[in-house]
Structure 1
Amino acid sequence: MSLRHPLSALILLTALGGASAHAQVKTPPPEEPNAVSPVLILPPTLPPKLVSSYPAQDQMVAPGVLILKVAFDQQMSPTAWNYAPADGVEPMDCVKTPRLLADQKTFVLLCRVQANRTYGVTLNAERTGGFANLGDNPAQTAVLTFKVGAEAPVTTLRRAMTAAGLKDDQTPVQDAPPVAPPVSAPTPAGR
């Protein structure tokens, strides 16, 4: 055997050894045992409970404009809500979407009710997709019924807000942001 072959073998082993050392440098270091995940995990919560409402259960109210107000015992998600007519009573005529007030616990909903009727609403008739807290835990199902008298009707939003105990900044509907006028294209010079 000539010296040329052992020298070639030595060069090859050195090159392979360098490649494996190079491969070891590129491997990521093992994770630390106490690494923190960037995912926010909220602790388990109890289902939110309805703590107050306007109208209250079995309360007598005036006909006309009515603001249904429901308050929960926890901060709620502004995009999760579900209401349906209660069984055996008149369904209310309401706008589709309730508004969550700044306290993050109270929803208000603009409705209209007629004289001499009994109305009712079921909150979270379907718990999935219904009123839920910030941890996505749905509120307990609650049924609210009330009666409407025959006195003079409430005809303004202001009177309905006063009856529901709401302040000026707690309207059940929000103003849409102003729409900017369309930008017209510049006219060419000389026309």
Structure 2
Amino acid sequence: MRHLFPGRFLGLALPLCLLAGPVSAQAVKSPARPSAETPTPVSPVTVMPPTDKPKVVATWPASGETIAPGVLVLKVVFDQQMTPRDFAYGLGADGDKLGCLKTPRLLNDNKTFVLLCTTLPGKTYAVALNPSAPGGPAFSNLAENRAEPSTLTFTTGAGEPVTKLRDAIKAAGLGGLDMPVEEAPDVAKTTP
């Protein structure tokens, strides 16, 4: 009899499960999900440790030096990594106006700025570095500390002028990859 008893319940259990299945699924319904929130955009933050003000450790030409006139790659080397788009230079006191491109280029060492210029024979040039008032553009390190204002003064002789860019690059002690200007991409090649 014991053997028949469970069989009867199994026969009843299947129809009861089918009837109770949907009901129990509704009864055990999971809590309502909150609506999906739109993610809040957050810009990356870089925290820099305190740093010293950048210092000029080398220039071409060196201050007080006499160089050949003509094409000049003006070079300013700092003691630490600098911000590529932060720079300020201008006419120094008691100097002739130096003809240069508007924007210097920061080389791959991230410490050396180069600027393509032209000079005339028998002149004294004074280039002011960070000449403007505080708050304006300035040569700055990665922590945005500004270099102290300084002036680079040099003269040109009356000798044979430098007429080729490669000779000016060599005179500044730069290699072939240290071009003072970047070429703009060829529009015809980049347009689909």
Report the structure number with the largest CA radius of gyration: 2
What is the letter of the counterpart of residue 73 of structure 2? I
Question: What TM-score do you get using the length of structure 2 for normalisation?
Answer: 0.73
Task: Show the counterpart of 1:46.
Answer: 52
Task: Show the counterpart of 2:86.
Answer: 80
| Distance across 2 between alignment mates of 1:40 and 1:163 | 38
Aligned-pair identity (%): 48
Task: Show the counterpart of 1:9.
Answer: none
| Distance across 2 between alignment mates of 1:104 and 1:140 | 18
Task: Show the counterpart of 2:147.
Answer: 139
What is the letter of the counterpart of residue 156 of structure 2? V
Alignment partner of 1:174 is 2:168: no
| Distance across 2 between alignment mates of 1:131 and 1:39 | 22
Task: Show the counterpart of 2:77.
Answer: 71
Deviations 1:133-181 (A, max 9, x none): 0111111111000010000000000010011011000010011112136
| Distance across 1 between alignment mates of 2:97 and 2:139 | 19
Q: Which runs of 4+ in 1 moved over 4 A?
A: none
| Distance across 2 between alignment mates of 1:151 and 1:78 | 35
How many residue pairs align between the two structures? 149
Question: What TM-score do you get using the length of structure 1 for normalisation?
Answer: 0.74
Q: Tell me the secondary structure at the aligned position of residue 162 of structure 1.
A: helix
Deviations 1:105-144 (A, max 9, x none): 0000000000001001010002531100011111111100
| Distance across 2 between alignment mates of 1:120 and 1:80 | 20
Deviations 1:74-111 (A, max 9, x none): 10000000001110110200000000000000000000
Alignment partner of 1:152 is 2:156: no
Deviations 1:11-53 (A, max 9, x none): xxxxxxxxxxxxxxx9xxxxxxxxxxx6322111111000000
| Distance across 2 between alignment mates of 1:136 and 1:72 | 14
Task: Show the counterpart of 2:23.
Answer: none
Q: CA RMSD in A?
A: 1.9
After superposition, residues 1-191 of structure 1 pair within 5 angstroms as 39-126=45-132, 127=134, 128-180=136-188
Q: Runs of 5+ in structure 1 lacking a partner?
A: 1-25, 27-37, 184-191
Deviations 1:50-87 (A, max 9, x none): 00000001000000000100000010000000001110
| Distance across 1 between alignment mates of 2:45 and 2:89 | 31
Q: Runs of 5+ in structure 2 lacking a partner?
A: 1-33, 35-43
